[in-house]
Amino acid sequence: MASFGPGGRGGRGAALLKAMKEPMRRPGEPPIVTTATGTSPTRHPHTPHTQHSPPAPPPGHPHPSTSSITTTAPAKPATPPSPRPLTPPGQSHDGSRDQSRSHDQSHDRGNGVRGGTVPLQATPTQALGRKAGTGRGILAFAKKESPQPGTAAPIGTGHAPRAPPTSVPPTTSTTRVGGGGPTPSLLQGHPLPSSMLTPPLSQATSSTLSQDTQASKGSSDLVKTSGKGRASLLQQQPEEGVASSGSAHLEKGVRKMEIAQREESTINKKGTSGAGVRLSANYLRVVAEQDGVYQYMVSFIPQVDNKNLRYRLLNEHKDVLGDTRAFDGSTLFLPVNITETTLVLKSTLQRENTEVELRITLVAVVAYAESIQLFNIIFKRVLRALELKQIGRHYYDPSNPIPVPQHKMELWPGYVTAIQEYDGGLMLLFDVSHRLLRTDSALDFLYELYSMHKDRFQDEATKQLVGSVVLTRYNNRTYRVDDILWEKNPQSTFTSHSGEAISFVDYYKKAYNKDIDDLEQPLLVHRPKRTKGDPRQGPEELICLVPELCCMTGLTDQARSDFKVMKDLAVHTRVAPNEREKSFRKFVENINSTPEARNHLSRWGLHLEPAIVQVGGRKLNPEKVFFKKKFVVSEEADWGRDSVKENVISAVTLKNWLVMFTRRDQSKAMDFVSMMKRVCPPMAIQVNEPQVVELPSDRTDVYLHALRDSINPHLQLVVIVFPTSRDDRYSAVKKLCCIERPIPSQVIISKTIAQEKKLRSVTQKIALQMNVKLGGELWAVEIPMKNIMVVGIDVYHDTIQPFARRSITGFVASMNSHLTRWYSRVAIQGQQQEIIDGLKLCLLASIKKYHEVNSTLPERVLVYRDGVGDGQMQAVEQFEVQQMLTCFKDFGDDYNPRVAVVIVQKRITTRIFSTHGNKLANPPPGTIVDHTITRRGWYDFFLVSQHVRQGTVTPTHYTVLHDTSGLKPDHLQRLTYKLTHMYYNWPGTIRVPAPCQYAHKLAYLVGQSLHKDPSEKLADRLFFL
């Protein structure tokens, strides 16, 4: 048994496993817990128990800051590998806002949703309050009851861990600490062991690396490829230490080297319609002074298993290899040729006094177009030479923060960079970025939550923190919070790499010179991402973090809904086109004026052009937006005024509807009803007197009981007025109205209709939304193609316990030739599964419904798939597209519709500017770019569909994965632009085609509130708006 914290709690705490030794951790890494399972532990029910409110944080409460770490490890620490980061949702301005501020529309967020994991079993409760010498005592926070001593929380399924390195006894396992260190271990059927809790590893623990190998982070940086159809940088290497087939071929005769040249794309993706416009984009040309880089295979005889030792041995031969190189342990890249065959070098292992032979064999000369991954590694060194710090995937300047003190926030300016081969050649994609940090720690955030939610503190803390991203300033790394260990605290111990038990308090003091004040705070857990089915992976590692040393990042939901906060941040984050262009020029000047940064490029024969790329584009003609009696044309793609004055295409009369409200909201609700009667007739919507239900209180069960009593087969729609916004109440009402008693429903927050001056405008928008939910049609655009079915697909990952890690697929398909009526289905998949297994069922149901409505099958099926990254393209093409193609045979062997599958990517770094002399501006809606900055070998294009008045507009990237539709590029581009006009929650164009946004809204509603399939009785209406 181990003791946890003061007060003799050791006898009641969970029993600890036998300490497991760990191999040496990388520098800068946090404490880690290694488990022998790939599954999440299960949280058991808890009963919160508190005695005292926490005292206010003392003035001058210290926040984490970066400090050096000293250990007895070898000199010259290697740059630690950064854990795979999960960056908080972006805050790009897309202009696609909803019409009203009703509660239904306030859920149109989609980003910023936290993920959840199932936490571990809790320990006994303990009083909350300050104890002498223990800081603020947050671990005592309303502890929840745990099983009796001696019982264990089930932790996963115990499969045998991978065999440890020879330097570690077979009976030991890996252990790391909260920010990048040894990792403790969890085994099935045992409580959490002390040995599995470890803090972030200190620096200076790995062997000496050469300058150019420190950044490569192992073989994965050089082996991985990016994009569709990209050839691998590294060829398959034979086993080291033995004669390879490549060597055998070289003995027979050195084969001639060929520089790989990418074939010019034969895909016809250029359109011609529209007027030509002068544009530029945030790309800088990378000029190469030579044809390629030289790739060598390095083998060691006798074989050397330790990768750091391989680096050291290779580093001894700088006189032959030079200072410029990239080495991943087996493959070496050089900018110059050192041998035509095989070069043999010799080194000596000092400890064993053993001679090692290094055989360096020329494999190929790799063209620059195929060296993308290498160049991105080189450019990271350039950014480090500019003294930028890597946080997550990108680099920021912590020395020039932009304070936002009124909201306890600060912004770190930085850059997003990526080198890639495009149709216009090798280019650097570059943009200005900002990292939002909150000056409060995770511990401060926990105390704030406790003050507001004492009765359900642990549940609320888990909901708010799990899925968020924190920054540890002592090593400038970000971690996604996957769990909270309520039963552990900084006094808990783990087994260090030296085999001794050490507490988190002592570890952070020794490694980072950080003092931890609150000795009772719980520990945060980060689970590094694992590759499914990879046999080389060892036991699961859990990185343990101390909240007091973690800085909160990103925005809370409360902050996002605060207009003042968002306005103050937008002053700094919404950068106008001209300001961006100045940043680009300054960036290139900084590289050229910094010798170290400039040399990193010049050694490889590279340099950047100073000006951004100029590109010709096209502007499509404005679309005619048709109402029942007239049409409108807007250069800015905005018809908000016309939408509330003109007759809608198809109006549904509100004959039998119900309005439900509490007694204190009675006057607001009746004012809303009166305004409905005045504003609806101009839109050709007839409104009868509603049934009125006044509730005595705003308790959730009161709402549900009244709804069950009121809903009947003749009722068309229910309007519920909430006094305040509460997610649990909203979810309960939506479950009843979408699943139990299916009926269209409209939820309104009372303050939305409280202001008399805004009531008319708000009511008009709510009336349009209600008409759509009843099956009405508001406006349309001209669709020249007939008998076509357009499909939108999006995936949302559920975050609410106990449904966390499920994936919700929203599937929406058009049912008429005007693309104004839609049919929706939902598919629920397993944990974090992006590929849609239930796609076939959704498509089959949609085609059957289309036949039922139109008495014919669609001749063309056009699918827009949202939420797919470049790395998922191949999987979508192999699985999702194939599922769709096979389901057509269910309608007969002769049924073979023309199909196009288009990937929609809206969270991209590309920015397009309209050029007017020396000034830049945002391009108008309808701007198309389909060359130069598009990907070579891909069928893709960029479309700016929305009008933006502040900041820089972000285009949407469309990639056609599969195409037998017979549509010309012009036709596909114009149809895509037309579909951005058809989202009925906003009277203007949006960033993505309407079916994608509808699919997102549906998936979000199900994942956030329903957690079940909605009733099929509502499937032919847009009930989820």
Residues marked active site are found at 794, 834, 866, 1000
Q: Which residue reads 């945030």 in tokens? A: 282
Terminal-residue alpha carbon distance, the chain? 55
Sign of CA dihedral 127, 131, 133, 135: positive
Rounded alpha-carbon distances, angstroms, from residue 584 to 478, 606, 607, 919:
26, 18, 15, 14
Q: CA 324 to CA 561: how far, in whole Å?
A: 51
DSSP letters spanning 597-641: HHHHHHTTTEEE-SSPEEEEEEEPPPPEEE-SS-EEE-TTSB-HH
User: Across-strand partners of 502?
Assistant: 494
Contact 107, 1005 (CB under 8 A): yes
Q: CA 944 to CA 935: how far, in whole Å?
A: 17
**Identity of residue 131:** K
Q: CA 842 to CA 1019: how far, in whole Å?
A: 11
Q: Which residue reads 């989202």 in tokens? A: 983
Structure tokens at 403: 């304070």
Using alpha carbons only, what angle is made at residue 556 by residues 551 and 557, rounded to the nearest 5 degrees? Answer: 170
Residue 142's CB is within 10 A of a number of other CB atoms, namely: 24
The answer for residues whose C-beta is within 8 angstroms of residue 934's C-beta and 6 or more apart is 269, 422, 423, 940, 941, 942
Q: CA 518 to CA 140: how far, in whole Å?
A: 10
Q: CA 477 to CA 180: how far, in whole Å?
A: 9
User: Across-strand partners of 430?
Assistant: 417
Residue 65's CB is within 10 A of a number of other CB atoms, namely: 13
Q: CA 769 to CA 752: how far, in whole Å?
A: 15
* Residue of 964, 942, 963 whose CA lies nearest to 953: 942
Contact 405, 380 (CB under 8 A): no
Contact 968, 271 (CB under 8 A): yes
* Residue of 163, 160, 122, 165 whose CA lies nearest to 144: 122
3-state SS, residue 822: strand
Q: Which residue reads 């409060």 in tokens? A: 440
Q: CA 49 to CA 143: how far, in whole Å?
A: 6
* 29-35 and 185-186 beta bridge pairing: parallel
Buried b (16+ CB within 10 A) or exposed e, 267-281: bebebeebeebebbb
User: Across-strand partners of 357?
Assistant: 301, 346
**Identity of residue 485:** L
Contact 308, 209 (CB under 8 A): yes
3-state SS, residue 843: helix
**Identity of residue 33:** V
Structure tokens at 334: 């050089």
* Residue of 535, 525, 538 whose CA lies nearest to 40: 525
Q: CA 134 to CA 124: how far, in whole Å?
A: 19
DSSP letters spanning 319-339: HHH-S--EE-SSEEEESS---
H/E segment holding residue 788: strand 788-797
What does R_g of the chain's alpha carbons equal in angstroms? 30
